[in-house]
Structure formats: C-alpha cells, structure tokens
Chain A
Amino acid sequence: MAKYRDRAGRPIVAVTGMGVVTSLGRGKTENWAALTAGRSGIHRINRFPTDGLRTTIAGTVDFLDVEPMVAPVLSETLATIAADEAVAQAGVTRGDFPGALFVAVPPVEMEWPQRQILADASGETGAIAYADLLRAAAQGDFRTLHDLFLFGTVADRLAERFGTKGSPISLSTACSSGATAIQLGVEAIRRGEAKAALSIGTDGSVHAEALIRFSLLSALSTQNDPPEGAAKPFSKNRDGFVMGEGAAALVLEDYEHAVGRGATILGFVAGCGEKGDGFHRTRSSPDGRPAILAMQQAIEDAGLSPDDIDYINAHGTSTPENDKMESMSCMAVFGERMTRVPISSNKSMIGHTLTAAGAVEAVFSLMTIAENRIPPTINYHVPDPAIALDVVPNTARDASVSKVMSNSFGFGGQNTSLVFTAEPVS
C-alpha cells in the first residue's frame, strides 16, 4: 500500500509506545508535568561522598532499589522500567515483542566495590596487585560478577524479559547513543528485516570514578550552588554539563503493521541523519560542518525542508563549546528563520543523561508534538549575545508543533539528528 511507504518506497516508521524515567520521576506523566513546570531534577549527590570533588551535583535517579548499586544493574533497571511502560502502551504482549532490540548502554567495567571484594578474598594484607585479584578469582566462585561486567549482559537480560527477536544489539556512540538506537531500529524496519523494534537508551552510571573522569576533562559544571541552577544551556554563564541518569524506550513499528493491528500511533520517526567528525577526540569541528550535515541529512531523509521544522529539541549540554557550535550550526541549516524557530534543552532540567539522552529526548520531542507544548530551557537569566536564539526561556510555551528535530552530539565525532512528525510523510 502506497500510503504506508515514504517517497523512497521504504516502510514508514511509526512510534506506538514510549516510556521514560529520569531524575524527574518515573513514567511519561510525571516527567512531562515536571518538565513543563520548569522543575529541575538535579540535586546534591548522596550516593557516594563528594569530598574533594569539584562537582558535587548530578541528576541521579535515587528512588529505585538496586542491588548491587553498579552501573550495569542500575542501567538495566532503568531500561526495564522505560520498556515496561513503552510495551504496555504499544499493547504488545510483554515477553513476546514482535521485533528486534537495540539498546544504548554505557560501557561496562568492573567497579571499586567488586575489586575490593576480590582484594579481600585474596587474603593479601600488604600491597595488592592484579595477580592477587586473579588468584582470588581462581579460588572463589565469582561467576555472577563475570556476568555482571560483560558488555552484553544488560541487553541479554532485556531481550529475555521482553522476548525480543534475534540477536540483541548493545551499542555506543557516546552521547548520541540513544539516537543511534532509534536510527538502527528505523533502518531495520525500512529494509524489511523487522516489523517492529524496541529501541532503548539507558544510563545509570553516576559513580565516583565516572564523575571524576568527566571532571578531569573539565566537562562538568562546578556551580554546585544551587544544584538546580547549574545546567544553563545557551546562557552566557554556562560552564559545563551536569551528569544525569535515566532511560527511555520507544516501540518503533512498520506503519502498516501498526495500523493492521489497530495500534494507537503516537508519531513517526521520519528522518535520521548522522555524520562523523575527525577533528578531535572530545571537541567538534570549529566550522560545525559535521553537525550541519547531520541535521541536513535528517531533514532530507524525512523528505522535508528546513522550513518545515517547527521546533528543535537541542543537544544543549550547557558546555561553552557545544552550545556555541550547535547554535552556529542551526543558523547555518535554518538561515535567518532560525531566530524564530523555538529551540530548548531538556538538559537544563534533567542534566545530560549521556548514553540515554538521545532516547529520552526523543520521547520528550514526541510528547511536545502530542501536547503542542514546548518544555523550556530553564536557568536562562544571562543571555549569551553570541547565541541569538529563541530558547523558550524559563517557562513552557503553547505552540502548534507537528515536526521536531532532535540533536545528539558526542565524544569521538558522533553527530546524530532525528526528525519526528505527527503525520506520516509519504
């Protein structure tokens, strides 16, 4: 049927289920209420001592019981909550998901409490070397730790729980991972490999070493007081991002398949764009070319023109460099009209949910379309004269929104843009 195909003859990709959890709460309703009220989820860290650290705040998710409290277990728990909500909304049988799983997960490694368990088990009382840890590992039974710290375990457990089909894919494109999980799902449906895809981005990796690593790269805000004021995307006094945690899940579905089973359509993923950047490991090309090309490609892939886009859900990390580069790139793509296109950053309230960000912000983008209400960029009190954008400052705004572009940019030259629409673009 022609109406279920786009202009390139590819299956149109609908969204039929969404779930989200962040520091603002559990589920779409709680998150949306907080987000449109301009409330921040960023607070003082109490998960571990922050003595001696330059940054003492984060948007951690603290309302879950997780044991042991390590990144892969928290990430799995967050993903499960989000996917439960998405699958229930889509009305597919939990445990028998009719398609593939793509999950963006933070890179896994053994953490300090587990290293300490092995160090203790070694019986060594003096200096500790890896040889001691290895000896302890050989003598005891640590098989649960082996599984815990494999990169594929989170995805495997999610695949088991939701009954997704085929080999689950765990992926990382750093801070654009969540968007890439969606892009991989879209591609699988477009090439006819799957009728549905469960795309998830999750990140529960705020622990001392992770925070210190970003801190040593001078990437984090150090304006700890008040915590909820630290993330200030596009403001002149922005000084870095705030780490956040969360997860989001989207049920993507071949439009024809979704209509055929009578599913409620929440929106469409109309276009995906991506571009690599070989300029630097952590910094973007100064001319913004990769970001510009990613956005242009996403709009073109959707069969739209820049004039069609009603709102941009910004990457907007609140780092001096990202926000400047993103603003400049948007000006290049949208031209003079850009000063009138609303652009806001969810990160002003939830922080940077890193691996999850692209998926979390995709859910918020689609909710913006559904509600015709744009969440604000909070903490916008000192405008940056170099960024002449309508950032929807401080309070949510009602507006007619049917086509949204969401940006995700990451370390390692990762740039991904997605276009979401209310109606199918054929």
Chain B
Amino acid sequence: MSEPRDVVITGIGLVSSLGEGNDVHVQAVSDTGLTHVDTTTFAPYPVHPVAPLELDRQIPKKSDQRQMEPWQRLGVYAAGLALDDAGLKGDAARLDTLQMIVSAGGGERDYAVDGQILEGLRKAEKPGVFLNERLMSDLRPTLFLAQLSNLLAGNISIVHGITGASRTFMGEEQAGVDAVRVAQARIAAGQADAIIVGGAYNAERPDVLLIFEMGRALWKHGFAPVFERSAEGGGFVPGSAAAFLVLEAREVAQARGARAHAMLAPVLSERCPRADGGLEKALASMWSQSGAGRDALVLSGATGVSRITSAERETLDALVVTGSIRCTGDMIGHALEAQFPFGVALAALAVENGLAGEAVVTSVGHKRGEGLARVVRAD
C-alpha cells in the first residue's frame, strides 16, 4: 500500500451554549471560566442550553426546519457553518462527492403525549389496545423521522446538498471518536478525498436526562469544574452542542486553494477493561502511540463521572504533561456524541491561533469507550 496521506481540517462549524462560530470558542480555550449554565429549567439538573440561533441563516426553508427536531437543527446548522468555513457551501460539484460520517443518538419524544399515555395506561382496561389507539392518533410522523439516527445526515443532505454518501455511527461518546477516526483513516488511505464529520446533541430534553439519571451519571449541584466534582459524587452536566469538521487530503485541499486550520493525525480508539488500572493503561498507551509531546495542550473530554475522571487526571499527571489541561466540559458541558468532534475542532483552532504547538483531545465515555486525537499545525 502507498504512504498514508496527510489529513487536514479545512472547515469547522460550531454551535454551543457559548454561541456559534469559531471566535467565541477559541476564546473559551484560553479564557478559563467562560461558560453558560442554566440551573433552573431542569433543576436539580444543570444544563448548558444552546445559544439562540437564527436558523434561517443555515436552514433557509421553514418547511425543512419543521421537519426536524432540535438536535437535528443544531447539527444541520453546524454543518452549514463548516461548509461556509471550508468554502464549499453551494459548490454543487464538490458537495456531490463529499462524504459524510455523523455521530448521533436519536429522539425526540413528545413529552405531553408520553405523560398522557402513561396516565391513561394505568386506568385502561386493555392497556395494549389503549396504547395503539393513542399512538395512532397522537404520534407525529416527523417525530419518527427525528428519532431515526441517520436522519441528521439525511437532513444535511437535503438542506446543504451533500450527496456523496453518509454513514451514521451510534454509541454515545465513542460514536464521535470512531466517526473522526474512520474519516481520517479513509482519507489517509485514499478511500475518500474529503469527508464532513461531526455530531449534534440536544441536552435540553427530559427523556435523555432520564437515561443518564438512571445511570447515576448526572451532576446535580451548582456548576463546578469537571475535575472538581468527585468529592460530591461526580457527574456530568449535559450541554447542547454541535460540531462539524471538513477533513480533506492535504493535496486535495491545496489543489482547490483551501486554507487548512490544522492537521489531524491518525485517531486512536479503545475498548478497554477499565478496572484494575486498565483505563489508565489504555490512556497512557494511546498518548504514547499518538507521538504527542509533553507540552501539548490537552483538551480533555472528561465527563466528571468520578472514578474515570480521576483516573484520566492521574494518568495525565503521571505523563508529566506540562501543557495546559482544559476540559471541554467546563466550556460547553458534555455533549455525548458531539463531544469528541467538538474537542478536535477546538484543538484545531487552538493550534491555528498559536495557543499551542500541538493539542491532544481525549475521550473517556461515561460508560465505555476511550479515544485520543492529536492535532498539529497544518504546515
């Protein structure tokens, strides 16, 4: 096989509680304490609510907006920003071959309908029949299309005209890691020239809070930094966010005169047994395989879930990392499938803006899955 090709990041699209676009997010990397938390709407669960967006700017047709639920709108919006940034928006010929990998969950529910059905099921003589009747009359077809994980990609195709082909990865945090990993690997191996990769997450949903509360994974106090939560039991603060990256082979980007934010090295991912030092070993091994220097800026995707977050911190300390260690969770909260792509985008911006010579992005999923990416200067 021929030598692997360099993979550069030529487009970034970000949306979070801090706002949209690259500038505010670069600022969040250097300006500790820049964050926006809502502690009342879903109390006792704090969430980072998405900043208000003018959807029309990236999703011009109201009919398209109506066909989506919020998590999909966030993703379609961020993908549009990434295309703008890469200079690909409206470039029909290139969009027709642009590939896509999306990391996504699903949803969303109609909360009122769910509540009414749960109440009715109690009293129903024939609960199954009652359920059928209510679902047949109360479900909106668009909710189904919003529930399907691959319909974020589908909506991006429709709204932005990206029709190379799409694949959707699922599986919480690790879906984001593997989406970026596979995208980088396909381009490096010549299996694709350009891929838009990313994810979106809407944290402002009681149904997803419910899943993670059942897992004892949520932080239920006032805001505290990720690395300072373990004394009170730990947990993550969900954040609404979306991140998309346009990745291209360096030669392909150069040929069209595109500017590169940074270069993305091969991404590492793991499924390690976490007990008995397994997690620490996996993280240290990925760090060493990445070839990152000790002075790299670390953008940790740590959740705040106690033991694993402490283990990550201790591993980084044992590696004697001399660069700053910043948690993306402190800036935008925890955005599950979107967290790792978001971290890689921040890393690219940090390197491009001279905040560090190189940056390392980590991911330790709240339940499973580990990943690490190294981002270096484009030149």
- Beyond A109-B147, A116-B121, A192-B1, whether A167 also contacts B371 by CB under 8 A is yes
Within 8 Å of chain B (Cβ to Cβ): is A261? no
Whether A143 contacts B169 by the Cβ 8 Å rule is no
Within 8 Å of chain B (Cβ to Cβ): is A168? yes
Within 8 Å of chain A (Cβ to Cβ): is B174? yes
CA distance A171 to B172 in the complex (A): 12
Q: Pick from A15-23, A35-43, A172-180, A302-310 the stretch touching chain B.
A: A172-180
- Beyond A116-B121, A167-B174, A216-B141, whether A134 also contacts B210 by CB under 8 A is yes
- CB of B236 to closest CB in A, whole Å: 13
Which of chain A's residues has its CB closest to B128's CB? A49
Whether A212 contacts B132 by the Cβ 8 Å rule is yes
- CB of A23 to closest CB in B, whole Å: 21
Whether B170 contacts A167 by the Cβ 8 Å rule is no
- CB of B208 to closest CB in A, whole Å: 10
Chain A 155-166 per-residue mask, 1 if CB under 8 angstroms from chain B, else 0: 110010000001
- Beyond A169-B169, A170-B175, whether A110 also contacts B151 by CB under 8 A is no
Whether B214 contacts A146 by the Cβ 8 Å rule is yes
CA distance A217 to B115 in the complex (A): 24
Q: Which residues of B contact A217 (CB under 8 A)?
A: 141, 144
- Beyond A53-B136, A216-B141, whether A155 also contacts B210 by CB under 8 A is no
Docked complex: B188-210 residues within 8 A CB-CB of A: 189, 191, 206-207, 209-210
Within 8 Å of chain B (Cβ to Cβ): is A332? no
Q: Which residues of A contact B155 (CB under 8 A)?
A: 281
- CB of A415 to closest CB in B, whole Å: 8
Q: Lowest 7 A-B CB distances belong to which pairs?
A: A412-B154, A152-B171, A146-B215, A130-B206, A49-B128, A191-B189, A274-B165
Q: Which residues of B contact A187 (CB under 8 A)?
A: 186, 191
Which of chain B's residues has its CB closest to A191's CB? B189
- CB of A182 to closest CB in B, whole Å: 12
- Between A and B, 8 residue pairs with Cβ closer than 8 Å are A127-B119, A130-B210, A133-B206, A137-B210, A152-B175, A187-B191, A191-B191, A411-B145
Within 8 Å of chain B (Cβ to Cβ): is A63? no
Within 8 Å of chain A (Cβ to Cβ): is B216? yes
Which of chain A's residues has its CB closest to B67's CB? A281
Q: Pick from B16-24, B104-112, B237-245, B305-313 the stretch touching chain A.
A: B104-112
Whether A134 contacts B213 by the Cβ 8 Å rule is yes
Whether B214 contacts A151 by the Cβ 8 Å rule is no
CA distance A416 to B164 in the complex (A): 12
Whether A107 contacts B158 by the Cβ 8 Å rule is no
Within 8 Å of chain B (Cβ to Cβ): is A240? no
CA distance A215 to B169 in the complex (A): 26
Q: Count chain B residues whose beta carbon lies closer than 8 angstroms to a beta carbon of A.
A: 81
Of A116, A145, A193, the residue contacting B185 (CB under 8 A) is: A193
- Beyond A150-B367, A191-B1, A414-B150, whether A173 also contacts B172 by CB under 8 A is no
Docked complex: B138-193 residues within 8 A CB-CB of A: 139, 141, 144-145, 147-151, 153-155, 157-158, 161-172, 174-175, 177-178, 181-182, 185-186, 189, 191
- CB of B111 to closest CB in A, whole Å: 5
Q: Specify which of A108, A167, A190, A208 lies most central, judged by the most chain B CB atoms within 10 Å of its CB.
A: A167
CA distance A112 to B368 in the complex (A): 26
Whether A53 contacts B158 by the Cβ 8 Å rule is no
Within 8 Å of chain B (Cβ to Cβ): is A68? no
CA distance A156 to B211 in the complex (A): 18
Q: Which residues of B contact A9 (CB under 8 A)?
A: 1
Binding site for A on B (CB under 8 A): 1, 45, 67, 100, 105-107, 109, 111, 114-119, 121-122, 126, 128-129, 131-133, 135-136, 139, 141, 144-145, 147-151, 153-155, 157-158, 161-172, 174-175, 177-178, 181-182, 185-186, 189, 191, 206-207, 209-217, 269-271, 365, 367-371
- CB of B253 to closest CB in A, whole Å: 20
CA distance A212 to B133 in the complex (A): 10
Whether A281 contacts B119 by the Cβ 8 Å rule is no
Of B114, B139, B174, B213, the residue contacting A216 (CB under 8 A) is: B139
- Beyond A49-B128, A129-B115, A412-B157, whether A173 also contacts B150 by CB under 8 A is yes
Whether B135 contacts A212 by the Cβ 8 Å rule is yes
Binding site for B on A (CB under 8 A): 9-10, 48-53, 105, 107-110, 112, 115-116, 118-119, 126-131, 133-134, 137-138, 142-143, 145-147, 149-152, 155-156, 159, 166-174, 180, 184, 187, 190-193, 208-209, 212-217, 274-282, 290, 294, 410-416
Whether B144 contacts A213 by the Cβ 8 Å rule is yes
Whether B167 contacts A276 by the Cβ 8 Å rule is no
Q: Which residues of A contact B172 (CB under 8 A)?
A: 150-152
Q: Which residues of B contact A169 (CB under 8 A)?
A: 169, 171, 178, 182
CA distance A415 to B118 in the complex (A): 38
- CB of B204 to closest CB in A, whole Å: 12
- Beyond A107-B106, A208-B131, A281-B155, whether A276 also contacts B210 by CB under 8 A is no
Whether B145 contacts A145 by the Cβ 8 Å rule is no
- Beyond A130-B207, A413-B157, whether A281 also contacts B167 by CB under 8 A is no
CA distance A5 to B280 in the complex (A): 39
CA distance A147 to B67 in the complex (A): 30
Whether B151 contacts A276 by the Cβ 8 Å rule is no
Whether B150 contacts A412 by the Cβ 8 Å rule is yes
Whether A411 contacts B178 by the Cβ 8 Å rule is no
Q: Which residues of B contact A109 (CB under 8 A)?
A: 106-107, 109, 147, 207
Whether B133 contacts A52 by the Cβ 8 Å rule is yes
Q: Which residues of B contact A166 (CB under 8 A)?
A: 269-271
